[in-house]
Structure 1
C-alpha cells in the first residue's frame, strides 16, 4: 500500500494549489483518470471536473488553506482523515486560528496507488 500519510499530505496540498495548470498535473499524478469525488456540495468524475471543483472552492473561500487534522487511519487501500480550512494569514504567522470549516474525507486507492474515490463529509461549515 502507498504511504497513506504522504498521499493525504499531497491531497491537501493539491487543494491549496492556486495555478490550474500545476494543479492539473498534480491531479494526474495523484488520482486515477476516472476519479469520483463526492461531498455534500458536489459530485464530479474525472481529472478536469475535479480541477474545476477545486478552483471553484478556492474562489468561494479566498485566503483560506486546507491543513491536516488528526493523522490518517487506513486499511485495505482506503483511508479516512480529517482536515481544517484555516485563514492562510494565520498559518503564515504561525498562529493556531480557529478553523472556518472542518471535515473528513475517505479515500480509496487503486492498484497503482492513485486515488480512485473520495467521499467527503463536512463537520463544520461557515455560517
Structure 2
C-alpha cells in the first residue's frame, strides 16, 4: 500500500463533485462495515457533559459514510470557496495509518480548518476504522 496515495485518495473523496465517482471512491476506500468516529463540536460536548455522558459521532458502512462525505462536501466544498488537501504525509505503524489534512480557501489559500486522521486498514488496504480528530 502506498501511504501517501491512501491519504490523497481519502482527501480527494471529500472534494469529489460527481456523485457516482464519490460513491465508488467510498467503496474503494472503506470496507463495507467500516466505522468512522469523530469528536462532536464543542457545544455538543458541553451539553453532554452536563448530562454526565461522553458524546461521539459515528458513521458505519458505505451508506452512512457516503452521507457523511456528501454533507461535508455540500457544506464546505460545493459552494466553490474551499478545498481539502493533505497537510502532512502519511505514516504507518502496523495496520494503523495517520495523516493530517487541511481545508483552505481556494482564492487565498488561507487555512480554515484542519484535522488528524487515524485509520486502521485491513489486508486489502481499505479502511476498517477511521478516527477523525478535527482541530478546534
- TM-score after normalising by structure 1: 0.85
Contact residue 12 and residue 68 of structure 1 kept, 8 A: yes
**Per-residue deviation, 1:114:** 0.8
2:90 alignment partner in structure 1: 72
Structure 1 residue runs of 4 or more that deviate by more than 3 Å after TM superposition: none
Structure 2 regions of 5+ residues with no counterpart?
A: 41-56
2:24 alignment partner in structure 1: 25
**Per-residue deviation, 1:89:** 3.5
2:105 alignment partner in structure 1: 87
- TM-score after normalising by structure 2: 0.80
Structure 1 regions of 5+ residues with no counterpart?
A: 91-96
| Corresponding residue pairs, total | 117
**Per-residue deviation, 1:50:** 0.8
Give 1 or 2 for the bigger CA radius of gyration.
Answer: 2
Quick one: which of 38, 41, 47 aligns to 2:62? 47
Quick one: which of 72, 76, 82 aligns to 1:57? 72
